Amino acid sequence: MQEEPQSQPPKQSFGLAIKWGWVNLLIVCLFSLISIAILPFLRLKTQSIKADSVQSLISVEENPSLITLPSFQSNTFLPISEPFSPKIEKPVKKIRVIVTAYSSTPWQTDDTPFITASGTIVRDGVVAANFLPFGTEIRIPALYGEKTFVVEDRMHPRNYYNVDIWLPSYQEAVNFGAIRTYIEVLEG
């Protein structure tokens, strides 16, 4: 007696499943990139619409006979509600100081090397100075041009007209050295 061959389900190609997996992954990645690229434009457009709506409501309250609809800008990617003009801070005074650098090492600071005297965490743009109040913004134009620093730390009391810039590594602080220059204290 001869046995009948059993019917087996058709074999699926493993390579085809991998191919479709990569295609799906590629589609998800492209969709994510497009969403990330478009999202800021959508936020700007909705903010512009809200501003126009508020302005029209104010106009109606002042003069009920005047009803205006929000205006939409056409043929633009970025609606500009007001021209960009950066705030230019003028220096209040120039002070001649010695500029040094420090890093977050316990033997250079105290037992909390990553916390400043004002209670914030050290980061780029933080300086220590004893002769200026916390939160004072300064520039060191000879070394850093227009970059703004904020006084958030203190030094040893003997270093009165010194400014100590925080740097992320000990070696950078050592290489910085000590430089006599002017700082500009900005109006606050």
DSSP-derived secondary structure for 97-150: EEEEEE-S-TTTS-S-TTB-TTSPBP-TTEEE-SSS-TT-EEE-HHHHTT-EEE
pTM: 0.52
The DSSP bridge pattern shows strands 179-186 and 91-102 to be: antiparallel
Mean pLDDT (whole number) for 25-38: 70
User: pLDDT, tens digit, for every residue of 172-186?
Assistant: 999 999 999 999 999
User: pLDDT, tens digit, for every residue of 145-164?
Assistant: 999 999 999 988 888 899 99
Give residue 28's pLDDT band: very low, low, confident or very high (50, 70, 90): confident
Nearest to 127 by CA among 163, 95, 178, 158: 163
User: How confident is the model at residue 92, as a pLDDT?
Assistant: 83
Q: What are the residue boundaries of the structural domains of the chain, listed by start?
A: 13-79, 91-186
CA atoms within 13 A on the CB side of 140: 21
User: pLDDT, tens digit, for every residue of 81-135?
Assistant: 555 556 666 778 999 999 999 998 877 677 788 889 899 999 999 999 999 999 9
Q: Could you tell me the end-to-end alpha-carbon distance of the chain, in angstroms, rounded to an integer? A: 102
Task: Answer yes or no: is pLDDT of 16 > 70.
Answer: no
Q: Which CATH class is domain 91-186?
A: mainly beta
